[in-house]
Amino acid sequence: MTTVEPKRRLDVGQLVERARSADPRAVARLISLVEDASPALREVAAALAPHTGHAFVLGLTGSPGVGKSTSTSALVSEYRRRGQRVGVLAVDPSSPFSGGALLGDRVRMQEHATDAGVFIRSMASRGHLGGLSWATPQALRVLDGAGCDIVLVETVGVGQAEVEVASLADTTVVLLAPGMGDGIQAAKAGILEIADVFVVNKADRDGADSTVRDLKGMLGLGGRHSEAGAWRPSIVKTVASRNEGMTDVVDAIEAHRAWMESHGELDRRRQARAAAEVEAIAVAALRDRIGDLRGGTALDALAGRVAAGELDSYTAADELVASL
Ligand SMILES: Nc1nc2c(ncn2[C@@H]2O[C@H](COP(=O)(O)OP(=O)(O)OP(=O)(O)O)[C@@H](O)[C@H]2O)c(=O)[nH]1
Ligand SMILES: [Mg+2]
Protein backbone atom coordinates (compact mmCIF):
# COMPACT_ATOMS: atom_id res chain seq x y z
CA MET A 1 0.00 0.00 0.00
CA THR A 2 1.10 3.54 -0.58
CA THR A 3 1.70 6.14 2.09
CA VAL A 4 2.65 8.89 -0.30
CA GLU A 5 0.70 12.04 0.44
CA PRO A 6 0.56 14.94 -1.95
CA LYS A 7 3.79 16.96 -1.95
CA ARG A 8 5.72 15.30 0.85
CA ARG A 9 6.05 11.75 1.92
CA LEU A 10 4.52 10.89 5.23
CA ASP A 11 6.88 9.21 7.67
CA VAL A 12 4.37 7.40 9.87
CA GLY A 13 6.98 5.91 12.17
CA GLN A 14 8.48 9.31 12.86
CA LEU A 15 5.06 10.89 13.32
CA VAL A 16 4.08 8.25 15.88
CA GLU A 17 7.38 8.71 17.71
CA ARG A 18 6.77 12.46 17.89
CA ALA A 19 3.22 11.87 19.13
CA ARG A 20 4.56 9.56 21.82
CA SER A 21 6.88 12.28 23.00
CA ALA A 22 3.77 14.45 23.38
CA ASP A 23 4.32 16.72 20.40
CA PRO A 24 0.84 18.24 20.02
CA ARG A 25 1.28 18.89 16.32
CA ALA A 26 2.06 15.24 15.68
CA VAL A 27 -1.01 14.19 17.66
CA ALA A 28 -3.16 16.63 15.71
CA ARG A 29 -1.73 15.38 12.42
CA LEU A 30 -2.48 11.76 13.30
CA ILE A 31 -6.07 12.59 14.23
CA SER A 32 -6.44 14.46 10.94
CA LEU A 33 -5.33 11.30 9.15
CA VAL A 34 -8.13 9.49 10.99
CA GLU A 35 -10.70 12.14 10.06
CA ASP A 36 -9.63 12.06 6.43
CA ALA A 37 -9.64 8.24 6.36
CA SER A 38 -6.11 8.47 5.00
CA PRO A 39 -4.70 5.41 3.26
CA ALA A 40 -1.84 5.68 5.77
CA LEU A 41 -4.22 4.76 8.61
CA ARG A 42 -3.36 1.10 8.42
CA GLU A 43 0.29 1.88 8.99
CA VAL A 44 -0.57 4.39 11.74
CA ALA A 45 -2.68 1.78 13.54
CA ALA A 46 0.11 -0.79 13.38
CA ALA A 47 2.69 1.68 14.69
CA LEU A 48 0.41 2.79 17.53
CA ALA A 49 -0.84 -0.59 18.66
CA PRO A 50 2.10 -1.54 20.92
CA HIS A 51 1.72 1.75 22.78
CA THR A 52 -2.02 1.57 23.47
CA GLY A 53 -4.22 0.07 26.16
CA HIS A 54 -3.22 2.48 28.89
CA ALA A 55 -5.75 5.30 28.63
CA PHE A 56 -9.02 5.22 30.53
CA VAL A 57 -11.88 6.39 28.32
CA LEU A 58 -14.58 8.51 29.88
CA GLY A 59 -17.73 9.23 27.89
CA LEU A 60 -19.83 12.29 28.68
CA THR A 61 -23.27 12.67 27.27
CA GLY A 62 -26.54 14.43 27.90
CA SER A 63 -29.06 16.73 26.29
CA PRO A 64 -27.92 19.86 24.46
CA GLY A 65 -27.06 22.68 26.85
CA VAL A 66 -26.93 20.53 29.97
CA GLY A 67 -23.32 21.57 30.57
CA LYS A 68 -21.21 18.84 28.95
CA SER A 69 -18.52 21.16 27.63
CA THR A 70 -18.36 23.19 30.83
CA SER A 71 -18.10 19.95 32.81
CA THR A 72 -15.46 18.57 30.48
CA SER A 73 -13.31 21.62 31.01
CA ALA A 74 -13.82 21.49 34.78
CA LEU A 75 -13.02 17.78 34.83
CA VAL A 76 -9.83 18.40 32.87
CA SER A 77 -8.77 20.77 35.66
CA GLU A 78 -9.56 18.14 38.29
CA TYR A 79 -7.63 15.41 36.48
CA ARG A 80 -4.68 17.77 35.97
CA ARG A 81 -4.76 18.52 39.67
CA ARG A 82 -4.41 14.76 40.17
CA GLY A 83 -1.36 14.70 37.91
CA GLN A 84 -3.02 12.91 34.99
CA ARG A 85 -2.34 13.56 31.31
CA VAL A 86 -5.64 14.28 29.65
CA GLY A 87 -7.04 14.01 26.15
CA VAL A 88 -10.34 15.54 25.10
CA LEU A 89 -12.26 14.47 22.05
CA ALA A 90 -15.35 16.52 21.30
CA VAL A 91 -17.43 14.70 18.74
CA ASP A 92 -20.28 16.23 16.83
CA PRO A 93 -22.07 13.43 15.03
CA SER A 94 -24.54 15.76 13.36
CA SER A 95 -22.05 17.95 11.61
CA PRO A 96 -19.71 17.15 8.76
CA PHE A 97 -17.43 19.96 9.94
CA SER A 98 -15.34 20.19 13.06
CA GLY A 99 -16.02 23.91 13.37
CA GLY A 100 -19.47 25.32 14.01
CA ALA A 101 -21.06 24.23 17.27
CA LEU A 102 -17.72 23.26 18.72
CA LEU A 103 -16.21 26.70 18.23
CA GLY A 104 -17.62 27.94 21.51
CA ASP A 105 -16.08 24.95 23.24
CA ARG A 106 -12.69 25.87 21.90
CA VAL A 107 -13.04 29.20 23.65
CA ARG A 108 -14.13 27.42 26.82
CA MET A 109 -11.15 25.08 26.63
CA GLN A 110 -8.81 28.03 26.23
CA GLU A 111 -7.66 27.80 29.82
CA HIS A 112 -6.10 24.43 28.99
CA ALA A 113 -4.63 25.50 25.65
CA THR A 114 -1.16 26.19 26.98
CA ASP A 115 -1.02 23.11 29.21
CA ALA A 116 1.34 20.54 27.66
CA GLY A 117 -0.44 17.80 29.64
CA VAL A 118 -3.71 18.31 27.77
CA PHE A 119 -4.64 17.47 24.17
CA ILE A 120 -7.92 18.84 22.89
CA ARG A 121 -9.44 17.93 19.61
CA SER A 122 -12.87 18.28 18.07
CA MET A 123 -13.97 15.90 15.43
CA ALA A 124 -16.84 15.63 13.01
CA SER A 125 -18.00 12.15 12.29
CA ARG A 126 -20.96 12.44 9.97
CA GLY A 127 -18.87 12.02 6.87
CA HIS A 128 -17.87 8.57 8.00
CA LEU A 129 -19.88 5.48 7.40
CA GLY A 130 -20.95 4.28 10.82
CA GLY A 131 -20.34 7.71 12.37
CA LEU A 132 -18.73 7.54 15.76
CA SER A 133 -18.27 3.83 15.61
CA TRP A 134 -15.62 4.10 12.98
CA ALA A 135 -13.51 7.20 13.44
CA THR A 136 -13.66 7.78 17.18
CA PRO A 137 -11.98 4.51 18.25
CA GLN A 138 -9.06 5.32 15.97
CA ALA A 139 -8.75 8.84 17.35
CA LEU A 140 -8.89 7.38 20.86
CA ARG A 141 -5.98 5.13 19.99
CA VAL A 142 -3.96 8.13 18.88
CA LEU A 143 -4.54 9.87 22.22
CA ASP A 144 -3.89 6.62 24.07
CA GLY A 145 -0.66 6.06 22.17
CA ALA A 146 0.35 9.66 22.86
CA GLY A 147 0.41 8.81 26.55
CA CYS A 148 -2.89 10.19 27.84
CA ASP A 149 -3.93 8.66 31.15
CA ILE A 150 -7.52 9.62 30.60
CA VAL A 151 -9.49 10.60 27.51
CA LEU A 152 -12.77 12.46 27.83
CA VAL A 153 -15.16 12.01 24.93
CA GLU A 154 -17.95 14.55 24.73
CA THR A 155 -20.73 14.10 22.22
CA VAL A 156 -23.60 16.33 21.37
CA GLY A 157 -26.45 14.32 22.78
CA VAL A 158 -28.77 13.38 20.00
CA GLY A 159 -30.40 9.99 20.34
CA GLN A 160 -28.13 7.38 18.89
CA ALA A 161 -24.96 9.30 19.75
CA GLU A 162 -25.67 8.85 23.43
CA VAL A 163 -25.75 5.13 23.05
CA GLU A 164 -22.71 5.16 20.79
CA VAL A 165 -20.60 7.08 23.28
CA ALA A 166 -21.43 4.44 25.87
CA SER A 167 -20.12 1.72 23.62
CA LEU A 168 -16.82 3.62 23.27
CA ALA A 169 -16.23 4.40 26.90
CA ASP A 170 -14.92 2.57 29.92
CA THR A 171 -17.16 4.69 32.11
CA THR A 172 -20.15 6.67 30.86
CA VAL A 173 -21.25 9.82 32.63
CA VAL A 174 -24.76 11.04 31.85
CA LEU A 175 -25.48 14.67 32.66
CA LEU A 176 -28.89 15.98 33.56
CA ALA A 177 -30.03 19.39 34.71
CA PRO A 178 -33.02 20.43 36.79
CA GLY A 179 -36.08 21.75 35.09
CA MET A 180 -35.43 20.29 31.68
CA GLY A 181 -38.03 17.57 31.96
CA ASP A 182 -35.13 15.22 32.26
CA GLY A 183 -37.08 12.52 34.04
CA ILE A 184 -39.13 11.80 30.98
CA GLN A 185 -36.22 12.51 28.70
CA ALA A 186 -34.03 10.03 30.50
CA ALA A 187 -36.53 7.23 30.26
CA LYS A 188 -37.12 7.93 26.59
CA ALA A 189 -33.54 8.07 25.46
CA GLY A 190 -32.59 4.95 27.33
CA ILE A 191 -29.86 6.86 29.12
CA LEU A 192 -30.74 5.20 32.39
CA GLU A 193 -29.34 2.03 30.92
CA ILE A 194 -26.06 3.46 29.67
CA ALA A 195 -25.10 5.60 32.68
CA ASP A 196 -22.45 4.43 35.11
CA VAL A 197 -22.43 7.79 36.86
CA PHE A 198 -25.19 10.40 36.82
CA VAL A 199 -24.31 14.06 37.20
CA VAL A 200 -27.08 16.47 38.03
CA ASN A 201 -25.46 19.68 36.85
CA LYS A 202 -26.71 23.24 37.39
CA ALA A 203 -27.34 22.37 41.02
CA ASP A 204 -27.34 26.13 41.65
CA ARG A 205 -30.80 26.11 40.13
CA ASP A 206 -34.07 25.10 41.73
CA GLY A 207 -35.12 21.51 41.37
CA ALA A 208 -31.77 19.71 41.56
CA ASP A 209 -32.84 17.68 44.56
CA SER A 210 -36.08 16.61 42.94
CA THR A 211 -34.16 15.57 39.83
CA VAL A 212 -31.95 13.42 42.06
CA ARG A 213 -35.08 11.98 43.70
CA ASP A 214 -36.67 11.23 40.30
CA LEU A 215 -33.51 9.50 39.19
CA LYS A 216 -33.31 7.38 42.30
CA GLY A 217 -36.92 6.44 41.84
CA MET A 218 -36.42 5.42 38.25
CA LEU A 219 -33.29 3.44 39.02
CA GLY A 220 -35.33 1.42 41.49
CA LEU A 221 -37.83 0.48 38.81
CA GLY A 222 -35.78 -2.23 37.16
CA GLY A 223 -33.50 -2.46 34.18
CA ARG A 224 -29.86 -3.41 33.91
CA HIS A 225 -28.85 -1.75 37.16
CA SER A 226 -31.31 -3.75 39.24
CA GLU A 227 -29.85 -7.13 38.36
CA ALA A 228 -28.09 -8.99 41.15
CA GLY A 229 -24.43 -8.03 41.42
CA ALA A 230 -24.86 -5.12 39.02
CA TRP A 231 -23.17 -1.75 39.48
CA ARG A 232 -25.48 0.79 41.07
CA PRO A 233 -24.83 4.09 39.34
CA SER A 234 -23.88 6.93 41.61
CA ILE A 235 -25.54 10.33 41.45
CA VAL A 236 -23.49 13.48 41.93
CA LYS A 237 -24.63 17.10 42.01
CA THR A 238 -22.40 19.73 40.38
CA VAL A 239 -22.19 23.37 39.41
CA ALA A 240 -19.79 22.98 36.52
CA SER A 241 -19.68 26.69 35.73
CA ARG A 242 -18.18 27.23 39.19
CA ASN A 243 -16.03 24.08 39.21
CA GLU A 244 -18.09 22.73 42.08
CA GLY A 245 -18.45 19.02 42.66
CA MET A 246 -15.69 17.90 40.30
CA THR A 247 -13.80 16.05 43.03
CA ASP A 248 -16.96 14.06 43.75
CA VAL A 249 -17.46 13.28 40.06
CA VAL A 250 -13.92 12.00 39.61
CA ASP A 251 -14.18 10.02 42.85
CA ALA A 252 -17.40 8.43 41.55
CA ILE A 253 -15.67 7.59 38.26
CA GLU A 254 -12.72 6.07 40.12
CA ALA A 255 -15.11 4.00 42.24
CA HIS A 256 -16.76 2.66 39.10
CA ARG A 257 -13.38 1.90 37.60
CA ALA A 258 -12.31 -0.02 40.71
CA TRP A 259 -15.59 -1.94 40.67
CA MET A 260 -15.10 -2.85 37.00
CA GLU A 261 -11.54 -3.97 37.61
CA SER A 262 -12.54 -6.22 40.47
CA HIS A 263 -15.42 -7.73 38.47
CA GLY A 264 -13.62 -8.29 35.16
CA GLU A 265 -15.97 -5.76 33.62
CA LEU A 266 -13.26 -3.43 32.30
CA ASP A 267 -11.68 -6.24 30.29
CA ARG A 268 -15.09 -7.35 29.11
CA ARG A 269 -16.01 -3.86 27.89
CA ARG A 270 -12.69 -3.38 26.12
CA GLN A 271 -12.94 -6.78 24.47
CA ALA A 272 -16.46 -5.99 23.24
CA ARG A 273 -15.25 -2.64 21.94
CA ALA A 274 -12.34 -4.20 20.09
CA ALA A 275 -14.68 -6.81 18.59
CA ALA A 276 -17.02 -4.09 17.32
CA GLU A 277 -14.10 -2.18 15.88
CA VAL A 278 -12.66 -5.18 14.04
CA GLU A 279 -16.12 -6.07 12.81
CA ALA A 280 -16.72 -2.57 11.46
CA ILE A 281 -13.44 -2.63 9.56
CA ALA A 282 -14.06 -6.14 8.24
CA VAL A 283 -17.57 -5.30 7.07
CA ALA A 284 -16.29 -2.18 5.33
CA ALA A 285 -13.59 -4.24 3.61
CA LEU A 286 -16.11 -6.84 2.50
CA ARG A 287 -18.42 -4.14 1.22
CA ASP A 288 -15.54 -2.70 -0.80
CA ARG A 289 -14.73 -6.06 -2.30
CA ILE A 290 -18.34 -6.78 -3.19
CA GLY A 291 -18.49 -3.30 -4.69
CA ASP A 292 -15.49 -4.18 -6.82
CA LEU A 293 -17.45 -7.12 -8.15
CA ARG A 294 -20.30 -4.94 -9.34
CA GLY A 295 -20.10 -4.79 -13.07
CA GLY A 296 -17.51 -7.55 -12.90
CA THR A 297 -17.99 -10.83 -14.68
CA ALA A 298 -18.62 -12.98 -11.58
CA LEU A 299 -21.60 -10.94 -10.41
CA ASP A 300 -22.89 -10.46 -13.96
CA ALA A 301 -22.88 -14.18 -14.62
CA LEU A 302 -24.69 -14.93 -11.36
CA ALA A 303 -27.20 -12.14 -11.95
CA GLY A 304 -27.94 -13.51 -15.39
CA ARG A 305 -28.74 -16.92 -13.96
CA VAL A 306 -30.93 -15.45 -11.21
CA ALA A 307 -32.82 -13.32 -13.73
CA ALA A 308 -33.36 -16.35 -15.95
CA GLY A 309 -34.70 -18.40 -13.05
CA GLU A 310 -31.83 -20.88 -13.19
CA LEU A 311 -30.56 -20.03 -9.74
CA ASP A 312 -32.11 -18.61 -6.58
CA SER A 313 -30.66 -15.40 -5.22
CA TYR A 314 -29.54 -16.96 -1.91
CA THR A 315 -27.44 -19.59 -3.64
CA ALA A 316 -26.07 -16.90 -5.92
CA ALA A 317 -25.11 -14.77 -2.91
CA ASP A 318 -23.42 -17.78 -1.29
CA GLU A 319 -21.39 -18.32 -4.45
CA LEU A 320 -20.45 -14.66 -4.56
CA VAL A 321 -19.29 -14.65 -0.93
CA ALA A 322 -17.37 -17.87 -1.48
CA SER A 323 -15.55 -16.29 -4.41
CA LEU A 324 -14.28 -13.31 -2.38
N1 LIG B 1 -26.33 28.00 36.12
C2 LIG B 1 -25.47 27.15 35.61
N3 LIG B 1 -25.15 27.23 34.29
C4 LIG B 1 -24.29 26.34 33.80
C5 LIG B 1 -23.70 25.33 34.60
N6 LIG B 1 -22.90 24.57 33.82
C7 LIG B 1 -22.97 25.09 32.58
N8 LIG B 1 -23.81 26.16 32.56
C9 LIG B 1 -24.16 27.00 31.39
O10 LIG B 1 -25.01 26.27 30.53
C11 LIG B 1 -24.76 26.64 29.16
C12 LIG B 1 -24.49 25.40 28.34
O13 LIG B 1 -23.29 24.81 28.77
P14 LIG B 1 -22.43 23.86 27.81
O15 LIG B 1 -21.29 23.36 28.64
O16 LIG B 1 -22.12 24.52 26.54
O17 LIG B 1 -23.45 22.69 27.53
P18 LIG B 1 -23.28 21.48 26.53
O19 LIG B 1 -24.02 20.35 27.13
O20 LIG B 1 -21.85 21.26 26.18
O21 LIG B 1 -24.05 22.01 25.26
P22 LIG B 1 -24.05 21.40 23.77
O23 LIG B 1 -22.62 21.04 23.43
O24 LIG B 1 -24.58 22.50 22.92
O25 LIG B 1 -24.95 20.22 23.80
C26 LIG B 1 -23.60 27.60 29.19
O27 LIG B 1 -24.12 28.90 29.14
C28 LIG B 1 -22.97 27.36 30.54
O29 LIG B 1 -22.28 28.47 31.05
C30 LIG B 1 -24.05 25.27 35.99
O31 LIG B 1 -23.61 24.41 36.75
N32 LIG B 1 -24.95 26.20 36.42
MG1 LIG C 1 -20.87 21.11 24.25
Q: What is the pLDDT of residues 77-98, one digit of tens each?
A: 999 999 999 999 887 655 544 4
pLDDT digits (tens, 9 = 90+) for 302-312: 999 999 999 99
What is the average pLDDT across 290-295? 70
What mean pLDDT, rounded, does the chain reach?
A: 83
Atom of ligand 1 nearest to the CA of 72: 15
Residue partners of 295: CB distance under 8 A and separation at least 6: none
Residue 47: is its pLDDT beyond 50?
A: yes
Please count the CA atoms within 13 angstroms of the CA of 103 that sit on its side-chain side.
Answer: 5
Could you tell me the pLDDT band of residue 264, with boundaries at 50, 70 and 90?
A: very high
Backbone region of residue 37 per phi and psi (left: phi > 0; alpha: psi in -120 to 50; beta: other values): left
Report d(CA 86, CA 274) in Å as an integer: 22
Residue 317: is its pLDDT beyond 80?
A: yes
Centre of ligand 2 to C-alpha 5, Å, is 33
Which pLDDT score is estimated for 292?
A: 72
DSSP 164: H
- Of the candidates 145, 139, 149, the one whose C-alpha atom is nearest the C-alpha of residue 50 is 145
Residue 49: is its pLDDT beyond 90?
A: yes
pLDDT digits (tens, 9 = 90+) for 209-244: 998 988 888 877 766 777 778 899 999 999 999 999
- Of the candidates 154, 161, 99, 157, the one whose C-alpha atom is nearest the C-alpha of residue 124 is 99
Could you tell me the pLDDT band of residue 6, with boundaries at 50, 70 and 90?
A: low
Q: Which residue has the higher pLDDT, 173 or 223?
A: 173
For atom 10 of ligand 1, the residue with the nearest CA is 67
What is the average pLDDT across 142-168? 78
What is the average pLDDT across 49-77? 92
Determine how many CB atoms are found less than 10 A away from the CB of residue 154.
27
Atom of ligand 1 nearest to the CA of 203: 31
What is the average pLDDT across 243-262? 97
Report d(CA 93, CA 131) in Å as an integer: 7
Centre of ligand 2 to C-alpha 224, Å, is 28
Report d(CA 268, CA 280) in Å as an integer: 18
Nearest ligand (C-alpha, residue 208): 1
Which pLDDT score is estimated for 282?
A: 86
Residue 4: is its pLDDT beyond 80?
A: no
Would you say 119 and 27 are in contact if contact means Cβ atoms under 8 Å apart? yes
Please count the CA atoms within 13 angstroms of the CA of 54 that sit on its side-chain side.
Answer: 18
Residue 268: is its pLDDT beyond 90?
A: yes
Determine how many CB atoms are found less than 10 A away from the CB of residue 127.
13
What is the average pLDDT across 120-144? 72
By DSSP bridging, strand 118-124 and strand 56-62 are: unpaired
Residue 100: is its pLDDT beyond 70?
A: no
Q: Which residue has the higher pLDDT, 289 or 50?
A: 50
Residue 99: is its pLDDT beyond 60?
A: no
Residue 131: is its pLDDT beyond 70?
A: no
Residue to mutate, 70, 77, 95, 180, ligand 1, most ligand atoms under 8 Å from C-beta: 70
- Spell out which residues line ligand 1, taking CB within 6 angstroms: 62, 64-70, 156, 201-202, 204-205, 239-241
pTM equals: 0.85
Residue 148: is its pLDDT beyond 70?
A: yes
- Of the candidates 173, 159, 142, 151, the one whose C-alpha atom is nearest the C-alpha of residue 48 is 142
Nearest ligand (C-alpha, residue 204): 1
What does the CA dihedral 178, 183, 189, 193 come to, rounded to 10 degrees? 100
Amino acid at the residue 247: T
For atom 9 of ligand 1, the residue with the nearest CA is 67
Would you say 142 and 19 are in contact if contact means Cβ atoms under 8 Å apart? yes
By DSSP bridging, strand 150-155 and strand 86-92 are: parallel
85-89, 115-119, 126-130, 261-265: range with lowest mean pLDDT: 126-130
Report d(CA 109, CA 119) in Å as an integer: 10
Nearest ligand (C-alpha, residue 94): 1
Centre of ligand 2 to C-alpha 78, Å, is 18
Would you say 87 and 152 are in contact if contact means Cβ atoms under 8 Å apart? yes
Which pLDDT score is estimated for 151?
A: 96
Could you tell me the pLDDT band of residue 188, with boundaries at 50, 70 and 90?
A: low
Centre of ligand 1 to C-alpha 165, Å, is 19
Centre of ligand 1 to C-alpha 103, Å, is 14
What is the enclosing helix (H) or strand (E) of 299? helix 297-307
Centre of ligand 1 to C-alpha 65, Å, is 5
Which pLDDT score is estimated for 96?
A: 47
Q: Say what percent of the chain tops pLDDT 90.
A: 46
Determine how many CB atoms are found less than 10 A away from the CB of residue 230.
12
For atom 7 of ligand 1, the residue with the nearest CA is 67
